[in-house]
Structure 1
Amino acid sequence: MAELRTSPKDAYDLILEAIDTGIYKPGDRLVESELADRFGVSRTPIREALQRLETQSLLTRDGRSLIVASLDHSQLAELYVVRGELEGLAARLAARHATPEEVRVLRDMLDADHALVNDPHAMSRANRRFHKQIHLASHNRFLVQQLDLVHRSMALLASTSIAADGRSQDTLKEHAMIVEAIEAGDGEAADRALRDHISKAFVIRLRLDAEAVEAAE
């Protein structure tokens, strides 16, 4: 039976992926029984996963209900500050420690992602894979753990900045600069290129949020 094979971690990953891919958006109510039916698992691992997500502030209480949390302007700014610092450090360490094979993987990702420029959702997933590869290439497990936490919080953003006009192409150019610096073993340049990449994404994010507020008024 599915429920015997499914652990709390599995249920956690399923719900987190559903939030990350926009199936559940900020403000959506998560109902234990509905989640169990959707994912074909028992309610016990779902309940434990929901408790874990609430502890991590990815879910919040609305009365007795659990809803997907949202980030206000200050929280968003704080998140991007931390992300820029940690991502920059990951790039700096990757320039120092990445193996030739890991650099080759980054190059291959970059080449493959050119086919995705007209698909923002696919490009967004590819962007996450690219950044994760840099995290792993840093060869610092504690940094990778912290970046995992940051990227979980990124799932609370209702849309991807890559959906903005021209952003996919710009993202690929910025990724290329990051890879070139890592491949050259230039930690300073890698750090700078990745911080600049995150800064530009933040500007786009703020612009999209401002446009959404204006449209709602």
Structure 2
Amino acid sequence: MTDVRPPQSDAYSLILEAIDVGIYKPGDRLVESELAERFGVSRTPIREALQRLETQSLLVRDGRSLIVASLDHNQLAELYVVRAELEGLAARLAARHATDEEVQVLRDMVQADRGLIGNPEAMSRANRRFHKQIHLASHNRYLVQQLDLVHRSMALLAVTSLAAEGRGDATMAEHDQIVEAIAARDGTAAYGALKAHISKAFETRLKIDAGERPLR
């Protein structure tokens, strides 16, 4: 008999996406029964998905409850250091291995995404697609796997840095520079452009966080 229950990965993906789009934010409590009802999934795969998310440190224990984790300043800095290096490597490899068609897709993405400036949430989704396309263009499955882990942790950042004034225009200019370096097959320039892009995003996020912290 075929088992028609939704697989664990489906429940996991549903919860992760809900965190990623801000339905559940850092500090929010996740309850098995509520998640099962929301997603139309039985409680067993929900329970297994929650355990997996806890193992990955995306959820943490608060007494008997599981809540969405948050990143402190040091964790944020560590995450961006790793992200910058891995993303830079992906761009370097993409400059070496991307097909002409993959380069054209990246160019088309930048062109289309310019129309989203002023809509931070839509730009954030487009930004993830753009970076994922570079990861895939690296043609290195192990690097893609590691970057997927990094980007899961990025879901714990409640506010996109693209919400900052002027960041949308700057991001598009940076994306264009990255793509042109990849198109020119200049791995060093692609690596540097993507690392600089991540550095500016980190700087912007630090400014956002500093503005949200109350004075003591």
Paired amino acid for 1:181:
A
Paired amino acid for 2:47:
R
Query: For 1:52-67, what aligned pairs fall within 5 Å after superposition?
Result: 52-67=52-67
Q: Percent identity?
A: 77
Q: What is the DSSP-based 3-state SS (H/G/I as helix, E as strand, rest coil) of the residue aligned with 1:60?
A: strand
- CA distance in 2: counterparts of 1:121 and 1:203, whole angstroms: 19
Report Cα offsets for 1:160-206 as digits up to 9, x if no partner: 00000010110000000000000000000000000000000000000
- Other-structure match for 1:96: 96
Following superposition, the deviation at residue 118 of structure 1 comes to 1.4
Matching of residue 28 in structure 1 with residue 28 in structure 2:
yes
Paired amino acid for 1:134:
I
Following superposition, the deviation at residue 6 of structure 1 comes to 1.6
- CA distance in 1: counterparts of 2:117 and 2:48, whole angstroms: 38
- Other-structure match for 1:206: 206
Query: Is there any run of 5+ residues in structure 1 with no aligned partner, and where?
Result: none
- Other-structure match for 2:17: 17
Paired amino acid for 1:205:
R
- Other-structure match for 2:132: 132
- CA distance in 1: counterparts of 2:75 and 2:25, whole angstroms: 17
Figure out how many residues of one structure are paired with residues of the other and give that number: 214
Paired amino acid for 1:115:
G
Paired amino acid for 2:207:
R
Paired amino acid for 2:79:
L
- CA distance in 1: counterparts of 2:25 and 2:85, whole angstroms: 27
The normalised TM-score by structure 2 is 0.97
Following superposition, the deviation at residue 158 of structure 1 comes to 1.0
Query: Is there any run of 5+ residues in structure 2 with no aligned partner, and where?
Result: none
- CA distance in 2: counterparts of 1:39 and 1:119, whole angstroms: 27
Runs of 4+ off more than 4 Å: none
- Other-structure match for 2:161: 161
Report Cα offsets for 1:43-73 as digits up to 9, x if no partner: 0110000000000000000000000000000
- Other-structure match for 2:75: 75
The normalised TM-score by structure 1 is 0.97
Q: What is the DSSP-based 3-state SS (H/G/I as helix, E as strand, rest coil) of the residue aligned with 1:4?
A: coil
- CA distance in 2: counterparts of 1:31 and 1:137, whole angstroms: 38
Paired amino acid for 2:201:
A
Following superposition, the deviation at residue 106 of structure 1 comes to 0.2
- Other-structure match for 1:144: 144
- CA distance in 2: counterparts of 1:67 and 1:29, whole angstroms: 4
Following superposition, the deviation at residue 5 of structure 1 comes to 4.6
Paired amino acid for 1:103:
V
Paired amino acid for 2:76:
L
- CA distance in 2: counterparts of 1:133 and 1:6, whole angstroms: 28
- CA distance in 2: counterparts of 1:118 and 1:167, whole angstroms: 10
- CA distance in 1: counterparts of 2:147 and 2:199, whole angstroms: 16
- CA distance in 2: counterparts of 1:115 and 1:41, whole angstroms: 37
- Other-structure match for 1:197: 197
- Other-structure match for 1:121: 121
